[in-house]
Every structure is written in structure tokens, then in C-alpha cells.
Amino acid sequence: MTARGNLFIVSAPSGAGKSSLISGLLKDKPADKQVSVSHTTRQPRPGEVNGQHYHFVSVEEFKALIAENAFFEWAEVFGNYYGTSRKVIEQTLEQGIDVFLDIDWQGAQQVKKVMPEAIGIFILPPSKAELERRLTGRGQDSAEVIAGRMAQAASEISHYDEYDFIIINDDFDTALGDFIAIIRSQRLTGAGQIHTHNDMLNDLLAE
């Protein structure tokens, strides 16, 4: 039978390189891996495609989905709603596809409550100085915004011990290799393999 996919929660402070790592992972469009597409009530930004970057819905539609218990987790951020459809994720996992949830520690806690087998990965920058360099290096934000992001980063980082794995993104290729190794290893756990290869095991154990 097809191996069920795993649900990965990926969190990181801004500047840790999470987006680049997820992009690197999905670069060759692997058939067995995809990022979860969230629902949101915010307006699409230029270039954003409905169903690919987000499922864009109205506040009324979003509230109806909350009432239906359709979301795995949802949150209101700066006046906009964001949510993850549990139904879509369950269907995707059943197809043998690993799903990646790009969410913060609050979302991670909510998901872990509903689905304790979700695997949490936390990505860290190698130092505070390097984090500041990266946040400044983008050159598109004011000193005040950067200071705010540094404070927010420290707050996010304080939840590092709630994750199953921690990747330190110093060298990008090493961090990407770490990411890939974790994902591959989680297809090989005893429980997962027994579920997937039940027939094979019966064959091997037959008299």
C-alpha cells in the first residue's frame, strides 16, 4: 500500500531562512511533497494566485468554515484571518504526500494538539549577529522595523524546545541536507513502515 505522508510543521524566526529552505526542498517539484495552502481573508498581493499561494475567501466564508470546524488551526493576524483546512491536509497525507505547514509557534501548538504525530522542525540562525545582519541585509526596512523584528525573533526563538528537530541554518546547503534527511528518516520509522509494508511483513513471517 502507499505509505501515508507525514505532516511537518516548520517554524522559524524571520531571517532564519525558512522560506529559502522550503523553496530548496520543493525546487524540483517532487510528487511526494507539498506546502499546505492556507485560507485567508486578506487581499491577494500582486502575483499571488488563488489556490496556489492561498485560498482567498471572504470573512463570511471564513467564519462559516470555522463554524464547520473545517480548520486544523486558524488565527487572526493584523485584522486578517488565516487558517489551515484539516480536510485538505488529511486527503493529501492519505495520497502519500508529505505536507509542510509554514506556521509560527502558536499555530504549531494548535496543530500538535489535534495531531500529535505532526513533526515539528524549528530553523535557527547561527547567531544573533548573523540574524541582525540578515534582517538588515534585505535593505528594505527601517531600523525601527528591524529592531521590532529582532524582538519578535527572540520571542519566536524562545519556543525552540517545543519542536522535534532543530536545524541551524549557517551554511544553506548543509541546512537543506539536514532538512531532507529529517524528512526522509520520518518515512522509515517503525510505526510507519509496519503500516505501509504489512503484506511484506506477513510474507516474511509466513511458515
Query: Which lies closer to a copy of itself via its Cβ, residue 56 or residue 160?
Result: 160
- CA dist 136 to 131, 146, 149, Å? 9, 7, 10
74 near 83, Cβ under 8 Å? yes
Query: Which lies closer to a copy of itself via its Cβ, residue 86 or residue 197?
Result: 197
Q: Footprint of a copy of itself on residues 110-149 (CB under 8 A)?
A: 122, 124-128, 131
Q: Which residues of 67-98 are buried (b: 16+ CB within 10 A; e: fewer)?
A: eeebbbbbbeeeeebbbbbbebbeebbeeebb
With binding defined as CB under 8 A, does residue 25 bind a copy of itself?
no
Strands 54-56 and 38-40: parallel
How far is Cα 86 from Cα 73, in angstroms, rounded to an integer? Answer: 8
Given the rule CB under 8 A, which of 43-51, 68-76, 100-108, 182-190 is the region that contacts a copy of itself?
182-190
Given the rule CB under 8 A, which of 17-25, 69-77, 82-90, 186-194 is the region that contacts a copy of itself?
186-194
State the residues that interact with a copy of itself by CB under 8 A.
Answer: 122, 124-128, 131, 153-154, 157-158, 160-161, 163-168, 177-178, 180-182, 184-186, 188-190, 193-194, 197, 200-201, 203-207
